[in-house]
Copies of this chain bind each other. A is one copy, B any other.
Amino acid sequence: MSKHVRQEDEGRLPKYYSISQDVIRLIRSGKLAPGMRIPSENQIIEQYGVSNTTARKALQELTSGRWVVKIKGKGTFVHGTGVVRSVDRILSFTRNMTEAGFKPSTKILHQSVLRKGYSALINGRRYSMDGPVLKLHRLRFADKIPMMLEVRYISLALCPGIEKTALTESLYDIYRNKYGHELTEIHQMLSTYMIESEAATFFDLHGPVCGLLVDGVTFCGREIILEMEKSIYRGDRYSFAVRAMYPTTDEPMAL
């Protein structure tokens, strides 16, 4: 019923475009999750009462927008996320996007120096950085699509003068190339986060969408905290890949 109203509202747009927008809405709402099959050409023809040319164009629109991927002889599946992030690799956004075939870019939203330092609770443990700490708020893009909103807290004791350099590139590169710091370990806590109001504006989202909140701490040596972060990944574009193997790290295997 609301679909009918929506179609009338969009009456001036090409039919194939309205259909593709319907599917994108389902992907964004999570009703069509990554890996799920989307309606076939024949199902679109039947459901919307359109020609096969229109149905095919709708599917092409979704494919070219990287919302879905067509697998020969199997069907068309939600790509949705566009990006899979491996959580067991120390990987910069820049490299992650490049590997996924996107062109990364960055917009700095705000930066300031916290004299008193920063601390956060991650996986039940409190991690603290002494001041001064550079608080850097950035929006990260892939092919001009806003993907991730991040706040990085960088030790100015370990990276003196970093606040005066250009900070639109990979910070990991700057840490290594300019300061000689090699990352040794990352601890992160992944939680869900309803992206709405102000955050939704940054992502150019119209309704509330699930996001992944990452609270992280990065070490460049035993117990030496180089930076901490608090980032929001949009859940309609991202999924996280995990592998666990036996034996697992230093803990006994718990069956």
Residues of A within 8 A of B (CB): 2, 4-5, 7-9, 11-13, 18, 21, 28-31, 33-35, 71, 74, 77, 80-81, 84, 87-92, 95-96, 99, 120-124, 126, 170, 172-173, 176, 182-194, 196-197, 200, 206-213, 215, 235-236, 238-246, 248-249, 251, 253-255
Complex: how many Å from CA A33 to CA B9?
Answer: 21
Residues of B within 8 A of A122 (CB): 35
Decide: A240 and B189 in contact? CB cutoff 8 A: yes
Say how many copies of this protein the assembly contains.
2
Q: List 6 A-B contacts (CB under 8 A).
A: A35-B120, A84-B123, A95-B254, A185-B245, A186-B242, A193-B210
Residues of B within 8 A of A191 (CB): 28, 33-34, 80-81, 235, 238-240
Decide: B90 and A253 in contact? CB cutoff 8 A: yes
CB nearest neighbor in B for A189: B239
Decide: A254 and B89 in contact? CB cutoff 8 A: yes
Residues of B within 8 A of A91 (CB): 244, 254
Given contacts A207-B7, A255-B176, A255-B183, contact A241 B88 (CB under 8 A): no
Q: Which listed residue (B81, B193, B196, B197) contacts A33, Cβ 8 A?
A: B193
